[in-house]
A and B are shown apart, each in its own frame.
Chain A
């Protein structure tokens, strides 16, 4: 049987890579004594797959994944047992039974929402931030994307669905960014923020937190809010 679940990645482990988190979850599930289903073959590994990777440096409330078990495990039992074996900063925040023939999470993934907390080196005005953002979003946003075949200019504007400005106080500001996120690509929030800072001609350190993931159709999982 399959469960769909979401894990929370706290700020204290934001700098842990996706690969390390993946291994950590597997070991936590083993510690919890959950009946993981293993792949066949020479080097059996638990059947665990993720809607998308959680970037190193990002924290999150909503990293959806699928896990397969050899016996029935209820979502409640899964959450309870898994959370008893999780290191600090990591927890399962949601779980539900995956219906037969559901398909893969990564194929259904459409978008994600982020909260970006910026700390500028100097006080920043909300008006200036809004003005530069408005200007930026009204045209192309070209960034240089590094690919296997070298550096290539890419317009990231089509990946941005919505940006809103949160509280701005002194040197700190918050942005809420809704961006496309699909198996074939998505918004690189850090690249967008870097581009914004360049246009603002300002320096800031920032933290990115994924607040929601949105999926196509079905109704089981969060759907993209209607604009």
Chain B
């Protein structure tokens, strides 16, 4: 397509910058032996904010003869424009139709993007089901946290990459290159891929199949994002993102990330500093964000944080520190942070009472929370967000009322400060979401609390929060969390449901304006299933689970034990203090902490 025709197409859509490409630091290779399309089943602004995709983009493009290009799910206006013109979905770098790539690789970060996988394959002209694809069709693969239970998407995939992608994806690409050179067919290629640790080939699955998660051992040696692309468009995380640590040692029992990214691995503070300088230099960004599941637990946090803030400040670069935990020793760092912008602070007590926090192993006390908010208020913050979940296992009304009591205590704390020592008005955002049980957590056996009960709990909380000064409750009931629960602990029976939902027009389900609950219910019903039943399924700890053939390193026996401890309200200490043996005997050596 020439520039005139392309601009004409773009003139028909909202935010044309989503499809233009050519951003600073994007990589165009005219010749390549293997072309890999890195696909994100959501819009550009979301997909470009995903650090993992940026790491893979750099890692793949660093290989001679391999070209990695990007494509994102086209917003419905662009989908209509493409269909209207009979045009296939194309890559941003070279505007090649996706069907002409050797590999199409999806990043799956949340279940509610699954219909967009089908939308993108469909617009690429690639058969949706793996079994319907020809030799000449691209190899369709996926990876990301969702694929620890790959079963609902497995029938659409030729291969699924489970675990850290940096090394595994490169090994896959080399296998593809060799297969192209030797003229080996897809069957032979799939056979070879199934021998790579971390790669699951659904078509070759037998009763004996066990897929062991892949991990990268040394982050200091692992590839990072190289020279990150600088988008024209204002994306969701529009800044330099530096991963300081992967994994988390806390062991919160509801948290999938906490289990599936073990063991904890850190980047050295000097590596992070070096990356910060290099990436600010080559992007021109004025903000750096330190990413991890729990930055407060990073062993060099008190050295790194003040240092990076000071050095960056000199170049008019601010530093964002998301995921700092309540019980981190914040006070000193907070006083340094005064010099930077006072964005809101988020604390995540997760549950309203100590009893329930013990059940979920969120080892944070009310004192910890109040000390942290006190520090924040004294340091001038006046906007605080408290994050909770409702519908947790063993929850009672007392736990719900406990949320309101905690909010009241935080509010009182703010207004008890002398007027001249506190910020203007308190903005206390009490954010409450619905608990979704996830595979590979201690709560993988638990069913989701039914919709009516969640709504009742929400109303109970709303009433209890009345009169708490400055508090604002942020909780919505949505069928979305039911679907999320159905798919996260789903099985292959859900693949036809996905297909049906896609046919019924479901796309961008995580976007309120596009979410179509009625169509979803119909899709389930048309397949003889019910989303509510799926979400509520309770499993006995002895029965086999759909995702048992995936070995995420943390053993099922350990999760079972954690579930039992949860029911007894027994906490499990942070494993930096003491190895809890979560990997069992087989992979002990994969964890340097054990």
Taking beta carbons and an 8 Å cutoff, which residues of A are in contact with B?
Answer: 11-17, 19-21, 23-24, 26-31, 38, 42-44, 56-57, 85-89, 119, 205, 207
B486 contacts chain A at the CB level, 8 A cutoff: no
Q: Which residues of A contact B20 (CB under 8 A)?
A: 12-13, 15-16
Q: Which residues of B contact A14 (CB under 8 A)?
A: 7
Q: Give the size range of B's interface with the partner.
A: 20 to 34
Q: Which residues of B contact A56 (CB under 8 A)?
A: 16
A17-B22 in contact (CB<8A)? no
Q: A11-B7, A207-B4 are in contact. Are A38 and B316 (CB under 8 A)?
A: yes
> Could you list 8 examples of A-B contacts with CB < 8 Å?
A12-B22, A14-B7, A16-B232, A20-B232, A21-B232, A28-B284, A57-B11, A87-B230
Q: Which residues of A contact B232 (CB under 8 A)?
A: 13, 16, 20-21, 23-24, 87
B23 to A: closest C-beta gap in Å: 6
A28-B7 in contact (CB<8A)? no
A15-B284 in contact (CB<8A)? no
A23-B234 in contact (CB<8A)? yes
In this complex, what residue of B is CB-closest to A19? B234
Interface centre among A16, A57, A85 (most CB of B within 10 A): A16
A199 to B: closest C-beta gap in Å: 22
Q: Which residues of B contact A29 (CB under 8 A)?
A: 284
Bound complex: CA A43 to CA B340 (Å): 9
A30-B234 in contact (CB<8A)? no
Q: A12-B22, A119-B4 are in contact. Are A31 and B281 (CB under 8 A)?
A: yes
Taking beta carbons and an 8 Å cutoff, which residues of B are in contact with A?
Answer: 3-4, 7-8, 10-11, 16-17, 20, 22-24, 230, 232-234, 281-286, 316, 341
Bound complex: CA A42 to CA B342 (Å): 9
B21 to A: closest C-beta gap in Å: 9
Q: A17-B17, A27-B284 are in contact. Are A12 and B316 (CB under 8 A)?
A: no
Q: Which residues of A contact B4 (CB under 8 A)?
A: 11, 119, 205, 207
Bound complex: CA A14 to CA B42 (Å): 24
Contact of B7 among A44, A86, A88, A207 (CB under 8 A): A207
B15 to A: closest C-beta gap in Å: 8
Taking A15-B16, A87-B24 as given, write out 18 further A-B residue pairs in contact, using a Cβ cutoff of 8 Å, ordered by the A residue number.
A12-B20, A13-B22, A15-B17, A15-B20, A16-B16, A20-B17, A20-B232, A21-B232, A24-B230, A27-B230, A28-B284, A30-B285, A30-B286, A31-B281, A31-B282, A31-B284, A119-B4, A207-B7
Interface centre among B10, B22, B283, B341 (most CB of A within 10 A): B22
Bound complex: CA A31 to CA B279 (Å): 10
In this complex, what residue of A is CB-closest to B2? A11
Q: Which residues of A contact B341 (CB under 8 A)?
A: 42-43
A20-B234 in contact (CB<8A)? yes
A31-B22 in contact (CB<8A)? no
Bound complex: CA A24 to CA B20 (Å): 14
A31-B283 in contact (CB<8A)? yes
